[in-house]
């Protein structure tokens, strides 16, 4: 038999009440500590190419969870510069029509089509600023939902001169930029045997499409990796005619995985997007496109993190025969993050297209503020 000891029931009840209060007091701190120990989000971004930005896209993978009934707020300011052309477009402009230093015009596009009706012609020149806010709500310990809305401007910033200086500093090819005026918005795209799609009208600023995402973040790890899955739907709240939205409901899904080893973090993501329409506002045929991204991060003390990413993404225009513009695009991301306190972080991400491999925005810059109230 087990020995019996006298028990003071009132003291036991007081101890239970005190223990409960202590637990309730420290539980939010424990939850934040658990989130802080997650691997850092990847320093990668969605495609901000002028023709691809209206479609649904995924930003850098994030395996962190949000505790039940808690909020996470993200505020992003993104700038991207797109200058995309094939060799034929440059030859037509500089040599056949001798318009070096002048902008593409509708007359030039019509002349190019008449001279080369069965060849691909690609010329895309433009900038955009995307202001975004995302609210993520913890539904359960493993599920959270988010709503993301944004505003797109194509004339808020003109940084062509700075981008050209950046290319000169790092000895990158100019790719024909000096042969055209700065600060223009021009799209001239033609598939072989199809008509020329041309626009030089400055798009109106306005709302982007609105994205809803369901996050699943299981509490258990898989072979030491934090894993998860995201399912997203994008509603057509942006103007397709102004290249602010896709004009349809788009859907996407991805799996993410990350792990931390001492001060280092490693991440992986694999996703697929399914556009809702067969053609974009530029009348380019679309198809489902996949994305693979790898990332690495290094924590430097308690406040600073630096990282890099490698992203390869299929072109939404794979059904078009546009040469490099229909091929997979490759992008490198570099970034730093600083903790502003226990509940907020500020990060800066720079993305650069790998020239000669597919088609992405030439340069992208993202400033992100994350707050957990």
Q: CATH number of the domain that 215 lies in?
A: 2.40.160.40
What pLDDT digit, counting tens, does each position of 206-261 carry?
999 999 999 999 999 999 999 999 999 999 999 999 999 998 999 999 999 999 99
Within a domain: 187 = no
pTM of the predicted structure, to 2 decimals: 0.85
131: phi then psi, degrees, rounded to nearest 5: -100, 125
- Tokens representing 81 are 């510069």
- For residue 279, the model assigns a pLDDT of 66
Within a domain: 304 = yes
Nearest to 53 by CA among 107, 132, 139, 133: 132
Say how many domains are in the chain. Answer: 1
Q: Are strands 363-371 and 71-85 parallel, antiparallel or unpaired?
A: antiparallel
Structural domain including 72 reads 26-82+128-159+207-371
Which residues are registered as beta bridge partners of 233?
212, 251
- Go through the chain and tell me how many residues it has: 373
What pLDDT digit, counting tens, does each position of 47-85 carry?
999 999 999 999 999 999 999 999 999 999 999 999 999
What pLDDT digit, counting tens, does each position of 259-286 carry?
999 999 999 999 999 998 776 767 788 9
- For residue 37, the model assigns a pLDDT of 61
pLDDT at 2 over 60: no
Q: Average pLDDT in the 307-325 region?
A: 93
Within a domain: 5 = no
Within a domain: 76 = yes
- For residue 25, the model assigns a pLDDT of 47
- Contact between 343 and 32 under an 8 Å Cβ cutoff? The reply is yes
- For residue 16, the model assigns a pLDDT of 43
pLDDT at 26 over 80: no
Q: How confident is residue 4, by pLDDT bands cut at 50, 70 and 90?
A: very low
CA distance 195 to 283: 10
CA distance 173 to 179: 13
- For residue 281, the model assigns a pLDDT of 66
CA distance 59 to 332: 13
CA distance 65 to 219: 9
CA distance 196 to 322: 12
Compute the mean pLDDT over every residue in the chain, rounded to the nearest whole number: 87
Q: Average pLDDT in the 331-350 region?
A: 95
Within a domain: 17 = no
Within a domain: 213 = yes
Within a domain: 261 = yes
Within a domain: 316 = yes
Highest mean pLDDT out of 12-16, 129-133, 359-363: 129-133
Nearest to 293 by CA among 272, 269, 329: 269
pLDDT at 148 over 80: yes
Residue 202 CB coordination number (10 Å): 13
Q: Is 351 in a helix, a strand, or coil?
A: strand
């Amino acid at each position: 038999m087990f020995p019996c000891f006298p028990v003071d029931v009132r003291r036991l009840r007081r101890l239970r009440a005190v223990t409960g209060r202590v637990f309730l007091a420290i539980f939010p701190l424990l939850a934040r500590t658990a989130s802080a120990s997650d691997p850092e989000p990847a320093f990668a971004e969605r495609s901000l190419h002028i023709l691809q930005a209206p479609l649904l896209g995924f930003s850098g993978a994030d395996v962190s969870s949000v505790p039940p009934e808690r909020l996470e707020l993200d505020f992003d300011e993104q700038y991207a510069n797109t200058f995309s052309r094939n060799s034929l477009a440059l030859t037509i402009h500089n040599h056949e029509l001798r318009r070096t230093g002048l902008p593409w015009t509708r007359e030039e596009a019509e002349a190019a089509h008449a001279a080369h009706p069965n060849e691909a012609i690609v010329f895309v020149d433009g900038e955009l600023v995307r202001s975004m806010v995302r609210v993520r709500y913890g539904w359960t310990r493993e599920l959270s939902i988010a709503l993301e809305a944004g505003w797109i401007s194509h004339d808020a910033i003109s940084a062509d001169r700075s981008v050209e200086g950046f290319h000169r500093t790092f000895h990158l090819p100019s790719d024909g930029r000096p042969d055209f005026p700065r600060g223009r918005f021009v799209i001239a795209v033609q598939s072989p045997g199809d008509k020329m799609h041309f626009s030089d009208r400055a798009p109106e600023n306005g709302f982007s499409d609105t994205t809803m995402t369901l996050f699943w973040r299981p509490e258990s790890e898989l072979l030491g990796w934090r894993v998860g899955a995201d399912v997203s739907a994008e509603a057509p709240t942006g103007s397709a005619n102004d290249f602010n939205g896709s004009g349809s409901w788009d859907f996407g899904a991805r799996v993410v995985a990350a792990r931390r080893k001492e001060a280092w973090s490693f991440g992986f993501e694999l996703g697929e997007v399914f556009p809702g329409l067969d053609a974009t506002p530029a009348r380019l045929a679309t198809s489902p496109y996949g994305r693979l991204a790898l990332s690495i991060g290094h924590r430097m003390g308690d406040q600073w993190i630096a990282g890099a990413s490698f992203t390869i993404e299929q072109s939404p225009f794979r059904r078009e025969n546009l040469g490099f513009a229909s091929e997979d695009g490759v992008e490198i991301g570099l970034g730093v993050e600083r903790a502003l306190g226990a509940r907020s972080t500020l990060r800066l991400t720079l993305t650069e297209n790998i020239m000669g491999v597919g088609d992405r925005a030439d340069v992208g810059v993202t400033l992100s503020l994350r707050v957990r109230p």
